[in-house]
Amino acid sequence: MTVGAVPYGRKSVHTPAVQEIDILWITAGLSCDGDSVAITAATQPSLEDLALGAIPGLPKVRIHNPVLAYEVGDEFLAPFHKAAEGKLGPFVLVVEGSIPNEKIKEDGYWAAVGTDPKTGQPIKTTEWIDKLAPHALAIIAIGTCATYGGIPAMAGNPTGAMGLPDYLGWGWKSKAGIPIVCVPGCPVQPDNFMETVLYLLYQAAGLSPMIPLDAALRPSWLFGQTIHEQCDRGGYYEQGDFATEFGSRKCIVKLGCWGPVVNCNVARRGWVNGVGGCPNVGGLCIGCTMPGFPDKFMPFMEEPPGAKMSSAAVLLYGRTVRALRNFTRDSLDKEPSWRAPGALTSGYPPATFGK
Ligand code: SF4
Ligand code: SF4
């Protein structure tokens, strides 16, 4: 997809201002392409907003993603080859999918895209990353596979799969001094990714400071709170009111929700256009935005071991508080005595002045 936008640029202490930028998106890691699909549902901003230049102040953006592109084969890969040779202008590299690292698993290769015209051999995903990373203005790992390895990197996997920070190094920085930016999720929450792209484009335009990241390289304003801190069901948890089966509106911690210890914002942000967000709609949080996912969260659909103690404690306190609140609520649910049926008055005491 190659569409024009408003050219703009100003000097920044962090990155040079740029007026045109390419987004080179590799989906050749080990994954289901679910992140590319998820992004089509973004609204804040949408892909179309970005590509068509609807957002003021941004550089002109050209997005190259195989799921979205009109071009195929060598025509699609042309800007990637140009970038690998250092001949493309400024670009942001987006990596989707877990990186099968042949250096730790030498029994062949597991992922590739395109063919090397000189050798006639497939170009491995790792070769693309090795060649593109040194020239990128910034790199975004999209989804949990690309950020921390995800499901393809589970214990015992035969592929040597790993996330981008494990492959390039957690201290890696782009030529503009920007660390790898990780936007995890299985799949990624679409607006989290688009908002991150938007931030980096404003940074490239010289309009925002260095992107703030947490220790797991996630944008800190998106991943600074737990799901539990924003969940619609938090009131039930606090009152020790736990669901024993799905379909209930109560807190689902005893069914296997890891929300109290998982950094994610979908309970507040929703999923598509503000609607959804796992526990809000009855889905267990299984910790998909966390570097320990999935191994540390298994088995799924069982009460997390750490939750047993806290939910037992909350149960004691919560039941008492709930009973007391029910008294108060019953009282508040009735009109004041001076407005009770059969005894209607204004509630204003009769005037006693002069009597
Ligand atoms: S459903 Fe999960 S995130 Fe929501 S209140 Fe219960 S434990 Fe917390
Ligand atoms: S709520 Fe839990 S399972 Fe859902 S997206 Fe966030 S981290 Fe993943």
Q: What is the pLDDT of residues 169-193, one digit of tens each?
A: 999 999 999 999 999 999 999 999 9
Pocket test for ligand 1, best of 227, 236, 238, 278 (most atoms within 8 A of CB): 227
C-alpha–C-alpha distance, residues 298 and 69, integer Å: 37
**Quick check: CB of 222 below 6 Å from ligand 2?**
no
| Tens-digit pLDDT profile for residues 202-213 | 999 999 999 999
- The token duo for 41 is 């549902």
3-class SS of residue 126: helix
**Quick check: CB of 285 below 6 Å from ligand 2?**
yes
Question: What is the full DSSP assignment across 288-352?
Answer: TTSTTTTGGGPSTTS--HHHHHHHHHHHHHHHHHHHHHHHHHHHHTS--GGGSTT----SSPPP-
Residue 179 confidence (pLDDT): 98
Tell me the C-alpha to C-alpha distance, in Å, between residue 156 and each of 38, 70, 105, 146, 149. 28, 38, 12, 18, 13
C-alpha–C-alpha distance, residues 236 and 230, integer Å: 13
Which residues have CB under 8 Å from 182's CB, separation 6+? 140, 141, 146, 147, 148, 163, 164, 165, 213, 216, 217, 218
**Which H helix or E strand runs over 26?**
strand 20-26
Residue 3 confidence (pLDDT): 31
**Quick check: CB of 278 below 6 Å from ligand 2?**
yes
Atom of ligand 1 nearest to the CA of 237: 5
Task: Say if residue 267's pLDDT is above 60.
Answer: yes
Residue 355 confidence (pLDDT): 60
Choice between 330 and 352, residue whose per-residue pLDDT is larger: 330
C-alpha–C-alpha distance, residues 328 and 340, integer Å: 18
**Quick check: CB of 287 below 6 Å from ligand 2?**
yes
What is the tally of helices (H) and strands (E) in the chain?
11, 9
Confidence of residue 334 (pLDDT cuts 50, 70, 90): confident
Which residues have CB under 8 Å from 125's CB, separation 6+? 26, 28, 29, 97, 99, 100, 111, 112, 113
**Which H helix or E strand runs over 222?**
helix 220-223
Task: Say if residue 11's pLDDT is above 60.
Answer: no
Which residues have CB under 8 Å from 154's CB, separation 6+? 294, 295
**Quick check: CB of 260 below 6 Å from ligand 1?**
yes
Question: What is the full DSSP assignment across 55-116?
Answer: STTPPEEEEE-TTT-S--HHHHHHHHHHHHTT-S-SEEEEEESBEE-TTT--SS---EEEE-
Choice between 15 and 262, residue whose per-residue pLDDT is larger: 262
Q: Among 142-156, 241-255, 337-351, name the one with the lowest average pLDDT.
A: 337-351
**Quick check: CB of 176 below 6 Å from ligand 2?**
no
User: Is the CB of residue 35 less than 8 Å from the CB of residue 28?
Assistant: no
User: Is the CB of residue 115 less than 8 Å from the CB of residue 123?
Assistant: yes
- The token duo for 355 is 């009597």
Residue 336 confidence (pLDDT): 83
Task: Say if residue 339's pLDDT is above 50.
Answer: yes
Task: Say if residue 9's pLDDT is above 80.
Answer: no
The Å distance, Cα 273 to ligand 2 centre, comes to 17
The Å distance, Cα 257 to ligand 1 centre, comes to 6
Task: Please tell me the number of the ligand nearest to residue 279's CA.
Answer: 1
| Tens-digit pLDDT profile for residues 132-156 | 999 999 999 999 999 999 999 999 9
HSE, side-chain direction, 13 A CA sphere, residue 303: 16
pTM over 0.85: yes
Choice between 149 and 305, residue whose per-residue pLDDT is larger: 149
The Å distance, Cα 260 to ligand 1 centre, comes to 7
